[in-house]
Amino acid sequence: MPHSNRSGRRRPRVDALAVAVLLALPVMAQAQDAAAPDAPELDAITVTAQRRVENIQDVPMAITTIDREKLEVLTASGDDIRLLSGRLPSLNIESSFGRAFPRFYIRGLGNTDFDVNASQPVSLVYDGVVQENPILKGFPLFDLDQIEMARGPQGTLFGRNSPAGVIKFESARPEAEFGGYGRLGYGSSNTLNAEGALTGALSDNVSARVSVLHQQRDDNVDNTFNGEGDDLEGYEETAARVQLLFQPSDDFEMLFNVHARQLEGTARLFRSSIIKPGTNELVDGFNRREVSIDGVNEQKLDQLGANLRMRWDLGRVSLYSITGYESVDAFSRGDIDGGSSYVFPPSAPGEALFPAESADGLPNHRQYSQELRVESNEWGRFDWQAGLFWFDETIDIDSVSYDTLAPGNPRNGYATQRQENTAWAVFASGDFDVTDKLKLRGGVRYTDDSKTFSAQRVTGPFGPPIAPIEVSPSDTDVSWDLSAVYAINDNFNVYGRVARGFRAPSVQGRLMFADATLPADELVTVADTETVLSYEAGVKATVWDNRLRLGFALYRYTVDDQQLTAVGGNANVARLVNADRTVGQGAELDLQAWLTDRLFVTLGASYNDTEIQDSNLAVFGCGGGCTMRDPAGSVAGTFLIDGNALPQAPKHVYNVTARYGIPTSHGEFFAYTDWAYRSKVNFFLYESTEFTGDPLLEGGLRAGYSWNDGNYEMAVFGRNITDEEAIVGAIDFNNLTGFLNEPRTWGVEFKAKF
């Protein structure tokens, strides 16, 4: 059924959240004398969103952080980086690869492309080094000091390709004093989560820190196709980090970091015909502990990286150098059709239209990056920084198809891709104190980005070979930002920011199942540069005798030539397209408060409204079973997506946590609960009844006892405690195939610090 709003373009609107907060601000600004007299104060939060260490209240942009305790709660059951989804305003994370390949969306901007060469508009920076390839972005979270998310374009000071925002992870640094910690958790399905770190001085000038993580879970899904017994959904993952800090004087320091990751287990488990036709609900009698597939499911990954960060204090200025290296070798194979019997029409779990079993591998990947930055040291009313950035990446991709119906599932198709990507940039920014209350900031960055890409099909499952196709897209662009922050008083700031960001041209060349008769520019597609112009205004306040901290932002952005990926569908290929324009606007809220001396709460909320504006843009619809809701395009099988929201872009994202403690003579009993909600999402660019994800609410609980000044802790925990079952993604070329959220997990955990 076509949209009811086709006759008039839908306008994004700001939710009632914005109005409610704006009305409450004057009251909150006057509430500082009304706090409970015995409630503790909030600790100051420092961030490096502008590459300098600053109080979060003084930074003119929307930023959210996650501290150590909240991260420990979220990671208790061994979940991967997707656990952050919904735990920060405007953030959604999903994956069709499972633990190996997260896809990030901030304020609706992201990329649904499942190619391991896909470009994402959300930049992830780990210990100062940009993680460009999506496989790198799945590195586990352990022994971290803090997580920061800066929303909106961040291309002036960080890495590359960050028009949506930046998520920063900073590892805990080595310390001269000997110490460390250990965590050991055990839960349902024999889930094991073990983490620990040791730090201390090796000499007068050298300190070290060794951090390790091991997570595993037994298979807990029975593949009924091969008889009884659990076969799937298990994993074993180990990661480690070694850091050496050399500090011969106050004027120089060098921090060396080497890290590694190894993962082996089940790839994303696809389940055929689990969506009830005409709805987006699970079919009657669905059992998440069973599946019937006749293909192989496996995933292996090895990652190794290192970085060297140096700082020289030269008096009036400081010089910084960040050198990074990353490499990953990955292989992921799955039964994409999600079934074991092939009928028309499929109607029950385990039934599909046709067999589809494939794998993607990265036999060769390496990334080098180098940044040099000069920063002024308290020049009075004016401070500045400037630098150079260089990036070089080479990646080879193997795509393999298998004949599921033949004995032994032999290989029947093989295609390759190779991409070399080089980028360099020069940047500068400064801030000027106009008065004691008003500060202006601005920055500019010039970037040159070029790619050389080649793809070919050596053998095809149902088509002839395709000779190598080569493209070499490149572009230069200028990113910039201007902002102002005004201190109404010592506890209440208002700010405004306008920023321009861009994403360099992208290439998509998955040729395994492509029609060899198509022109080369339809077999290998190139998306032109996209640019975004974003406006943001907000307030940051610490009120109620420093017991309540609030950040609130309103924003609106326009993306020109947005890069979109039309995946799957009845064409059974992925194509890159550019939409003329995408608009988005919304409101975001961050709040932390000590309501009493025992009760600490946090609240995050966001309203994100997005709309694709391109009256001529059409994509292929689903390949089987779905009810299309968009009007048909001029080409058979295509549908117009003008007016649709971006995929995987929920309008509403809310999260809340509450911690209550009861002190005793020797320690503290505590209870901690966390909840995250996101509203419905479209899985694809087109809108259909079946491929729409329902709203999802998931909660966690942790309760226990700590003693000896908090050095020891025993707790019980639960994740997804209401046992929500939700379809969070789909495959749209082979009937109503979907995949699910993580199951409920219960467990116990012990932690010790020394």
Distances (CA, A) of 485 to 58, 433, 656: 7, 10, 28
Q: In a 3-state reduction of DSSP, which class is residue 541? A: strand
Q: In a 3-state reduction of DSSP, which class is residue 571? A: helix
Considering the domain boundaries, does residue 572 fall inside one? yes
Q: Tokens 């998520």 correspond to what residue?
A: 167
CA angle at 212 for the pair 207 and 218, rounded to the nearest 5°:
175
- 458-481, pLDDT tens digit by residue? 999 988 999 999 999 999 999 999
- 629-652, pLDDT tens digit by residue? 999 999 988 999 999 999 999 999
- For position 35, what pLDDT does the model report? 45
Considering the domain boundaries, does residue 165 fall inside one? yes
**Mean pLDDT, rounded, for 679-693:** 96
Residues of the chain with pLDDT > 90: what percent?
Answer: 83
> Which residue range forms the structural domain that includes residue 178?
16-302+318-753
Distance CA 169, CA 324 (A): 15
Considering the domain boundaries, does residue 3 fall inside one? no
- 378-431, pLDDT tens digit by residue? 999 999 999 999 999 999 999 999 999 999 999 999 999 999 999 999 999 999
Considering the domain boundaries, does residue 568 fall inside one? yes
Give the E-state strand segments of 127-285 in sequence order.
129-130, 144-151, 165-171, 179-187, 191-201, 206-217, 221-223, 230-232, 235-249, 252-265
Considering the domain boundaries, does residue 627 fall inside one? yes
Q: Residue 577: beta bridge partners?
A: 564
Considering the domain boundaries, does residue 643 fall inside one? yes
- For position 168, what pLDDT does the model report? 94
Strand duo 382-402 + 357-376: pairing: antiparallel
Considering the domain boundaries, does residue 4 fall inside one? no
Distance CA 471, CA 420 (A): 11
Element at 707 (helix H, strand E):
strand 696-707
- 426-456, pLDDT tens digit by residue? 999 999 999 999 999 999 999 999 999 999 9
Considering the domain boundaries, does residue 308 fall inside one? no
Q: Average pLDDT of the chain? A: 92
- 190-240, pLDDT tens digit by residue? 999 999 999 999 999 999 999 999 999 999 999 999 999 999 999 999 999
Q: Examine the pLDDT at 704 and tell me if it is beyond 50.
A: yes
User: What φ, ψ does residue 132 adopt, rounded to 5°?
Assistant: -80, -50
Strand duo 618-620 + 681-682: pairing: unpaired
Distances (CA, A) of 582 to 484, 611, 615, 668, 710: 26, 6, 12, 51, 50
Number of domains in the chain: 1
Query: Tell me, what CATH number does 228's domain have?
Result: 2.40.170.20
